[in-house]
A and B are shown apart, each in its own frame.
Chain A
Amino acid sequence: GAVVSQHPSWVICKSGTSVKIECRSLDFQATTMFWYRQFPKQSLMLMATSNEGSKATYEQGVEKDKFLINHASLTLSTLTVTSAHPEDSSFYICSASQGADTQYFGPGTRLTVL
């Protein structure tokens, strides 16, 4: 149980375009979903916390207009990287929890912006 999927697993896009990443909890209802970013050889950096039906809570330093998060249902959250630039290239990972303390992570999405 507790399976979280992400789509796509990797994406390459041109600078200036927008990219949407989906995060789904497949076998449970996720009251809360989290979006992380990981740089090479570094820890996971929390970008934002999203609760179903409400606005996401962004961490300090994360531009909410650039990283749009939507949590439309208890099984789906999306992260849209708007007007992507090469510095946005990274590994984006989502996680989901049922309100308990354990977060279950998706497999991640590798974004490369040319």
Chain B
Amino acid sequence: DQQVKQNSPSLSVQEGRISILNCDYTNSMFDYFLWYKKYPAEGPTFLISISSIKDKNEDGRFTVFLNKSAKHLSLHIVPSQPGDSAVYFCAASAVADRGSTLGRLYFGRGTQLTVWP
């Protein structure tokens, strides 16, 4: 049962334009959301996170938006650069998991972003 869904397996964007990666979740207990970037044969790299008490968090070229009522979050990358080409994973955790598995993350299947010159 996929509780975090990334319905677009791939996205292709021209350099300099905005990349928008989407993520949906089903578990209303999720209260912390993260985006990771992953290159082939490497571990994921943390990009940005957002708590459920916020609806927006910005860090440089990366902005994450959270719409709790729609159970939807998105990652905006502006401007997109060729070095941003990677697989982006959305992840979520629930306060209910903190006591037992202490921050267990639920991952989406990832979106392959390709930024072309």
Contacts and interface: CB of A to CB of B under 8 A. Distances in A.
How would you classify the secondary structure of chain B's contact residues: helix, strand, loop or mixed? loop
Interface stretch (B13-21, B53-61, B105-113): B105-113
Contacts of B45: 105
Interface residues of B, number: 22
Given A42-B109, A43-B89, A43-B109, A107 B42 contact: yes
A16 B110 CA distance: 33
A46 B104 contact: yes
A99 B102 contact: yes
B49 A102 contact: yes
Interface residues of A, number: 29
A57 B20 CA distance: 35
Nearest to A93: B43
Q: Which label, helix, strand, loop or mixed, suits the secondary structure of the A interface? A: strand
Given A102-B49, A106-B43, A43 B102 contact: no
A97 interface: yes
Contacts of A102: 34, 46, 49
B103 A108 contact: no
B36 interface: yes
Interface in A66-109: 91, 93-95, 97, 99-108
Contacts of A57: 100-101
Contacts of A44: 44, 89, 107
Q: Identify which of A2, A4, A49, A102 gathers the most chain B CB atoms within 10 Å of its CB.
A: A102
B81 interface: no
A6 B43 contact: yes
B44 A105 contact: yes
18 contacts: A4-B43, A31-B102, A32-B103, A34-B104, A34-B105, A42-B109, A43-B107, A44-B89, A49-B101, A49-B104, A57-B100, A101-B34, A102-B34, A102-B46, A103-B103, A105-B45, A108-B42, A110-B41
